[in-house]
Amino acid sequence: MNSRELVSAAPACRICAGPVREWVDLGRQPVSNAFLRPRDVGAERFFRLAVGICADCAMVQQLEAMPTDHMFRADYPYRSSTSDGLRRHFEAVAGRLRDTELTGPGDLVVEIGCNDGLLLRTLGAAGVRHLGVDPSAGAAQAATAHGVEVRVDFFDERSATAIRAERGPAKVVFSANTISHIADIDEVFRGVDRLLTPDGIFVFEDRYVADIVEYAYFDQIYDEHFYLFSVRAVDAMVARFGFELVDVEHIPIHGGSLRYTVARPGARPRRPSVARMIDDEARYGLGEHDTYARFGRQIDRIGADLVALLTDLRGAGRRVVGYGATSKSATVTNYCGIGPDLVPYICDTTPEKQGRLSPGAHIPVRPHEAFADPYPDYALLFAWNHAEEIMAKERRFVEQGGRWILYVPHVHIV
Domain contains 312: no
The enclosing domain of 89 has a CATH number of 3.40.50.150
In the predicted model, residues of the chain with pLDDT beneath 70 are 1-10, 68-82
- Please tell me the predicted confidence (pLDDT) of residue 7: 38
Domain contains 204: yes
Domain contains 388: yes
The enclosing domain of 341 has a CATH number of 3.40.50.720
- Please tell me the predicted confidence (pLDDT) of residue 4: 42
For the chain, what is the total number of helices (H) and then of strands (E)? 13, 17
| DSSP single-letter state for residue 358 | -
107 and 210 assigned to the same domain: yes
Domain contains 298: no
110 and 245 assigned to the same domain: yes
235 and 165 assigned to the same domain: yes
276 and 355 assigned to the same domain: no
- Please tell me the predicted confidence (pLDDT) of residue 226: 95
CA 352 vs CA 35, 125, 148, 227, 346: distances in Å = 9, 27, 21, 27, 14
Domain contains 356: yes
For residue 373, the tally of other CB atoms under 10 A from its CB is: 9
Domain that holds residue 236: 80-289
d(CA 171, CA 179): 18
β-sheet bridge partners, residue 201? 172, 263
- Please tell me the predicted confidence (pLDDT) of residue 80: 65
- Please tell me the predicted confidence (pLDDT) of residue 75: 60
- Please tell me the predicted confidence (pLDDT) of residue 69: 62
- Please tell me the predicted confidence (pLDDT) of residue 197: 98
181 and 131 assigned to the same domain: yes
> Positive or negative, the Cα torsion across 143, 145, 148, 150?
positive
CA 58 vs CA 18, 36, 61, 80, 246: distances in Å = 9, 36, 9, 30, 19
